[in-house]
Structure 1
Amino acid sequence: MYINRKIHWRHKLVIVLSLLIFLSITGCSPNKQAHKTTLFALDTVIEITAYGEQAPRALEQASAEIKRLEALFDAHQKTSEISQLNQQAGLAPVKLSPETFAVLAQAQLYAQQSNGAFDPTIKPLVDLWAIGKGQETVPSAAAIRQSLSLVNFKRLQLDATTQTAFLLDKNMGVDLGGIAKNYILLQVRSLLAQQQVKHALINGGGDIYTLGQNPQGQPWTIGVQHPRNSQAIIAKVRLESWDQVATSGDYQRYFLVDNQRYHHIFDLKTGYPTNSLSSATLFAKFPAPTFPSSLCLILGKSATLEFIAQHYPHVQALLVDSQQQVTSTAALTAQMTISKPN
């Protein structure tokens, strides 16, 4: 058996996107000087670029807010509220902050809308595969079945009156990796706006949030990475109508065994990584709600388009299948340029 442990992290997408974006904003006037901060949080590199006199202070506050919220949501930090919830599984409800409760409630909504395709109680399966932790191997079928038996969003009780959450069964666990970053980056966007920042770009490993147009008064332009070529883009999109972009792909964290790709997004019907789409990118306009882009890889192309039509008709999608063929929703097609897949 040949094993190639090739773990790709989301920040590889940042390089391509940032290059395209900053090519469009060179030559800014001094009063629109770029101020930038970069930090590692939520298992990815987060870059925030803001313009104007208010930018330096706003960036300091944004960095502090990211760390504060990460400390609440990160299941890998022993003192986080999510870790406390997991430690009390099957024992007692846990009192939560308003932010943590809001994210869990949103996760439950996605789970209900998708009939469990998305499930915040996925931690036992995530821990079993341990992708990105080193020494990756394919678990046994029995171990996968055991982990799947502990994944059930209906066994996570939320009480809005007491702001508590309770995992009903021992060994259950919540992992908010599918949605925590988007929630946090949206809070950062709101914070920058409150600080009177007029132009900003937030890039969290390929999840993009913009504020206003770029300093030259033009819409921001982004590139979507080719799923099988980290140095190429598969599409370029002009953000005339959207300021939220979220991408998930099977190339972001994975390992290979006998040329079979095992990545970090799981089909909860089987317990194995999904295999119908290579990547999915969603576009929306703040403050309209969207949903986790990883759900597209779980649902597949046809079911994703049906899900959007039923629950999020304002969201536009760019889907790349396992053969690197691109499908996009109608409004998006008019504002993008597709590069021929290699």
Structure 2
Amino acid sequence: MMRRVLAAILMLCALASCSRQPVEEHAFLMDTWCSITFYDRGDEELSDEAFAILEEIDARLDRFDTGSEVARINAQAGLSPVSVSEPTYKLIKRAKELSVMTGGAFNPLMGAVSDLWGFGSASPSVPDDDEIARLLEAVDIDNLVLDDGAMTVYLADDRISLDLGGIAKGHAADEVAAFLKASGVERAVVNLGGNVWCIGQREEDRPWTVGLQDPSSQDGAYFTTVSVSDSSVVTSGSYQRFFIEDGVAYHHILDPATGRPADSDILSVSLIMDDSTMADALTTALFVMGSTDAATFCRQWGLSAVILTGNGEEIRIGL
């Protein structure tokens, strides 16, 4: 059966010393619980506008919504290019760039393979190896053909399906955080179920303290904390979504090289950076890489990360 952890992967530690009570607004969007917590002001109209931004992004990027731009791209796979809006085009282009940056550990063309496993459905199951291999033949990032001038997207093989699930929430968090800042909000937390944007600081000259959830905890306890100032914290982990078949757990983070759940020694990996879009894609890639290669990658690119391995080792980089 499918088990879904709906609680946020990251938990903001209690802010008992704040001078005014925080105001929290929440909604279920983008297939997760989303919340915006204001610490310097409460504005229902502002939060409504922020959630409207999330709804608009979801309407464009949800591949299961037949009216979305991503669904239209997938419907024309192997047939013809599809014109899309500028925001969607830019995000898809960025997804392709991040795939190249990670050596393919992040790949936005894994939608059909994910569907083969049934992730997101009521009855996931282990697929046939031959069918996985057939789809993997087409999962080449060069099959994502972009035309900057015409702003079109073309999937060059009808066996592939564009899936922006590994980057969309990070993008949405960035957009909402930018909107709130432009609207004068100085202290707030945007939480999109594992993608957390901490605007400003907890108090003057004091950073936010964010707890990272212990994957083995049933009550949401965290295994460590990180200090954050005007930045995001994004986490990926194998415990977030999985199913069990014949006593074996199969998590949802697929390795683009094998088409199977990544055989990784990482339980969870978190990135702290002011670019939640990039962090969203990179945490997925880092999980696929495994702790040794992930740590090397983070040092090479100057990233701030916390990696928790299956043997309980906590690896901190750039913190």
The total of aligned residue pairs comes to 316
Q: Normalized against structure 1, the TM-score is what?
A: 0.87
Sort the Cα spacing of 1:151 and 1:189 in 2 relative to 1 into closer, same or farther, 3 A. same
Q: Which residue of 1 aligns with 2:136?
A: 148
Q: Which residue of the other structure, out of 16, 19, 24, is the alignment partner of 1:28?
A: 19
Pick the aligned partner of 2:271 from 267, 282, 290: 282
1:251 and 2:239 aligned = yes
1:283 is paired with a residue of what secondary structure? strand
Deviation at 1:239, TM superposition (A): 1.9
Deviation sequence 1:33-57 (CA, Å, 0-9, x none):
4332111122211111124457333
Among 8, 11, 21, which residue is 1:17 paired with? 11
Aligned partner of residue 64 in structure 2, secondary structure: coil
Matching residue within 308, 311, 325 for 2:298: 308
RMSD: 2.0
Q: Distance in 2 between matches of 1:17 and 1:53?
A: 21
Q: 1:295 aligns with which of 264, 285, 289?
A: 285
Partner deviation per Cα, 1:153-176 (whole Å, 9 max, x = no partner): 111101111111111112321000
TM-superposed CA distance for 1:146, in Å, is 1.8
Offset at residue 323 of structure 1 (A): 2.1
The Cα offsets for residues 251-273 of structure 1, whole Å up to 9 and x where unpaired, read as 00001234422111011221110
Structure 1 residue aligned with 2:313: 325
CA deviation after TM superposition for structure 1 residue 191, in Å: 0.2
Residue number among 138, 147, 151 corresponding to 1:159 in the alignment: 147
**Which stretch of the first structure deviates more once superposed, 167-176 or 60-69?**
167-176
**Matched residues, percent identical?**
29
Distance 1:86 1:285 in 2: 31
2:49 matched to which residue of 1?
A: 61
Alpha-carbon contact 2:18-2:203 (below 8 Å) kept: no
In structure 2, do the counterparts of structure 1 residues 194 and 87 end up closer, same or farther at CA, with 3 Å as the change threshold? same
How big is each residue's C-alpha offset from its partner over 1:186-234, in whole Å with a ceiling of 9 and x where there is no partner?
Answer: 0000000011011110111121101111257632111111112232211
* SS of residue matched to 2:74: helix
Query: What amino acid is the match of 1:284?
Result: M
Q: 1:86, 1:286 → 2: CA distance?
A: 27
Matches within 5 A, 1:124-203: 124-203=112-191
Distance change (3 Å), C-alpha of 1:27 and 1:297: closer
Alignment partner of 1:8 is 2:4: yes
Alpha-carbon distance in 2 for matches of 1:269, 1:171: 16
Gaps of 5+ in 1: 333-342
Indicate how the Cα distance of structure 1 residues 126 and 288 shifts in structure 2: closer, same or farther if over 3 A, else same.
closer
CA shift for structure 1 position 24: 1.6
Do the aligned residues in 1 keep the contact of 2:233 with 2:273 (CA within 8 Å)?
yes
